[in-house]
Every structure is written in structure tokens, then in C-alpha cells.
């Protein structure tokens, strides 16, 4: 949504953007670092992390193609999350100054940004309400559904068991056992960093029906 509106806004906006491809595990930005750009995910997926009070990293969100992160630098000077690529990821980097300047003259772009702010807030609420409550198999089913529903192929980017555990507030061992059970049941297949999901079965588990 943001990319389409941005491309149609003031002349020169597209020239201000820079598209980059990141390798798996590459850090895009770090929490607390001075921010100068907003990022749109074109392909792949990224994880957003913060530090817990005891200093351990905690995954708080996973964003896929179409999502935007780094919006906080439009009103602040630093990033609020450490963002790392889960697989080979293509991002569009947009200067924050260019976005702020364009929104002063483009009502559609301003509205698109407001909608993105709300979408990010809704995503954060969903993590707390859906992914961090209930039995382990319910949480994991909800995560897989959350990531695969937007894809026609019913697939999503694979994540390490540690990252899944961090996002779901479970132990890596519990996630590994649950994923193994899902695979044996034919609910999930994993190949070359991609998870293929059987959505109806995962849906039943997510609702506590199976």
C-alpha cells in the first residue's frame, strides 16, 4: 500500500528510494541507532527484536512482503527495534526526510502512513493476544497461520526454532517437539527455508478444536 502511494506522489520520490537485497541473518538497523530511513519489505521477511530487562533479545514481530518498518524515525531520531533478515530479503529504503516532506503536500500519502501506524499497532496487539497465550501447539498453529494466510501458495518464510520460541514465549525444545509433531501429521512441510502449511488443519488447532 505505502509503496504504491509513494510511487504516485511528488515527482522525484522514486529517485529518492534505494532497493537492496540482504542475506539471511543480516542486520538492517539496530535499536537505539540514529535513523534516517524507512524500509518497505519487497520480498522475504524480517524479525523485530527488543531487549528484555535482563538483557536478552526478544522477538516481538515478524514482518513479510508489503510491511513497512522504521516509521518511528519520522517523529524520533532512533530506531525502536533491531531488525534482522530471516532469509534472503529485498527491502526498499526510503529517506525519512523525503517522506516527511512529501506528506506535507500529499494527503493520500499522509493517510497511507496513518493506516500503516494502525496496522503496526494491530500487529503488536495480535502478538500479545494470540501468539503468547494458550497451549504450545495452539500458539504455534496461530503463528504459522498468521504468516501463511497472505500467500496464495500457503507458504511462509521458515524461522529458527529459537526465534519462534522467542516470539511465542516458549522454549526452543517445546517448539521443536511441536513442529516435529506437525510435520508427522502433515500439517507442515519444510524445504529450502520455506514452510508449506496445511491451513484447515492448523485452523482447527488454533481454535482448540483438534
How, if at all, do strands 89-95 and 37-43 pair?
antiparallel
Per-residue pLDDT of the chain (210 residues; tens, 9 = 90+): 565 555 555 555 556 788 999 999 999 999 999 999 999 999 999 999 999 999 899 999 999 998 999 999 999 899 999 999 999 999 999 999 989 888 888 888 888 888 888 988 888 888 888 999 999 999 999 999 999 987 888 899 999 999 999 999 999 999 999 999 999 999 999 998 899 999 999 999 999 887
pLDDT at 80: 96
Residues 6+ positions from 101 with CB-CB distance below 8 Å: 10
Helices (H), 37-148: 96-103, 107-126, 136-148
3-state secondary structure 148-184: HCCCCCCEEECCCHHHHHHHHCCCHHHHHHHHHHHHH
Amino acid at each position: 500500500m505505502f509503496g504504491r502511494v509513494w510511487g504516485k506522489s511528488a515527482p522525484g520520490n522514486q529517485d529518492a528510494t534505494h532497493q537492496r537485497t540482504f542475506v539471511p541473518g543480516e542486520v538492517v538497523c539496530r535499536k537505539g541507532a540514529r535513523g534516517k530511513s524507512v524500509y518497505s519489505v519487497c520480498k522475504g521477511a524480517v524479525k523485530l527484536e527488543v531487549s528484555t530487562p535482563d538483557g536478552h533479545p526478544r522477538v516481538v514481530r515478524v514482518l513479510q512482503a508489503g510491511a513497512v518498518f522504521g516509521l518511528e524515525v519520522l517523529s524520533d531520531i532512533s530506531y525502536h527495534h533491531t531488525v534482522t533478515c530471516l532469509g534472503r530479503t529485498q527491502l526498499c529504503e526510503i529517506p525519512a526526510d523525503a517522506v516527511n516532506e512529501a506528506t506535507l503536500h500529499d494527503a493520500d500519502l499522509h493517510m497511507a502512513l496513518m493506516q500503516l501506524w494502525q496496522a503496526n499497532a494491530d500487529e503488536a496487539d495480535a502478538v500479545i493476544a494470540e501468539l503468547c497465550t494458550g497451549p504450545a501447539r495452539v500458539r504455534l498453529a496461530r503463528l504459522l497461520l498468521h504468516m501463511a494466510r497472505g500467500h496464495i501458495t500457503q507458504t511462509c518464510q521458515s524461522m529458527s526454532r529459537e526465534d519462534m520460541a522467542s516470539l511465542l514465549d516458549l522454549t526452543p525444545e517445546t517448539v521443536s517437539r511441536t513442529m516435529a509433531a506437525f510435520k508427522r501429521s502433515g500439517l507442515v512441510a519444510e524445504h529450502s527455508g520455506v514452510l508449506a502449511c496445511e491451513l484447515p488443519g492448523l485452523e482447527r488447532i488454533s481454535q482448540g478444536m483438534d
